[in-house]
Amino acid sequence: MVNRAVWETLHKELAAAGATLVAVSKTKPASDIKELYDLGQRHFGENYVQELVSKQAELPADIQWHYIGHLQSNKVKYIAPFVHLVHAVDSFGLLKEINKQAAKNSRVIDVLLQMHIADEETKFGMDEADIFELMEYYTAQKEDMQNVRICGLMGMASNTDDEQKIRSEFARLNNFFIHLAETSFLGKPYFAIRSIGMSSDYHIALAEGGNMVRIGSMLFGNR
């Protein structure tokens, strides 16, 4: 069930903040997505390749699909023809595979690097040193990497009620983003996205530099 009133409010609030709302529709039926689409929502986020592929096939072609989950290299080929933004690149190998599949489809695919900012061991992502290392490989092979574009960072805060902790985790990501934008060749107009914040913490994310939020349960109800 879609919460239309919440969408209206969120849509206005995020537009005023200059942030992009990604409606996270994983596990929800295509009919729910169509309902939000009809209100004007265009960015949708999915976590499972199979599910994304079948929804993409049956829903309007101008939906901008975000792949927000952990992506296995051997599955990139299924979403490469249409995916709008891959949020969770966490290795150079994955980046290379996305580049390869994008080239096969004569596309440039936009991606974010996933930064590990939470305490939990279970959350994927790279720390600052890992990202510097990935950038070194990327720089060295830049000529062969023309089909991917690194557009920013993505992160998930710890699952906690401690607002101060969430705030400092998002701030860490934003500070590193600023550092990369200022000091590396990524300092290009398109290196601009900080995808942080979900239903429970998006206010904090907006206050800490986030300009893309991924919101599921607030819009579609609990999974």
Ligand X SMILES: *Cc1c(COP(=O)(O)O)cnc(C)c1O
Place of tokens 């960072």: 153
Using rule CB under 6 A, residue 68 touches ligand X: yes
- Please give the size of the binding site for ligand X, defined by CB under 6 A: 14
Using rule CB under 6 A, residue 36 touches ligand X: no
The contact mask relative to ligand X for 136-155 (x = CB under 6 A, - = no) is --------------------
Cβ count near 132 (within 10 Å): 13
CB of 180 to ligand X, least distance (A): 21
Stretch that binds ligand X, among 8-16, 128-136, 177-185, 208-216 (CB under 6 A): 208-216
CB of 132 to ligand X, least distance (A): 23
- Can you read off the two tokens belonging to residue 145? 């990497």
- Can you read off the two tokens belonging to residue 33? 């997505």
The contact mask relative to ligand X for 45-64 (x = CB under 6 A, - = no) is --x-----------------
Question: Is the distance from CB of 23 to CB of 213 less than 8 angstroms?
Answer: no
Cβ count near 70 (within 10 Å): 14
Using rule CB under 6 A, residue 102 touches ligand X: no
Using rule CB under 6 A, residue 214 touches ligand X: yes
Stretch that binds ligand X, among 10-18, 49-57, 129-137, 214-222 (CB under 6 A): 214-222
Which of 198, 204, 205, 212 is close enough to bind ligand X by CB under 6 A?
Answer: 198
Packing angle, helices 128-140 and 163-183, rounded to 10: 30
Q: How many CA atoms lie within 13 A of 146 on its CB side?
A: 6
Q: How many CA atoms lie within 13 A of 61 on its CB side?
A: 1
Place of tokens 């400092």: 168
Place of tokens 């290392």: 133
Stretch that binds ligand X, among 104-112, 143-151, 175-183, 210-218 (CB under 6 A): 210-218
Instruction: Rank residues 145 and 197 by Cβ distance to ligand X and give the closer one.
Output: 197
Q: Chain-centre distance of CA 159, in angstroms? A: 18
- The footprint of ligand X (CB under 6 A) covers 24, 26, 47, 68-69, 156, 198-200, 214-218
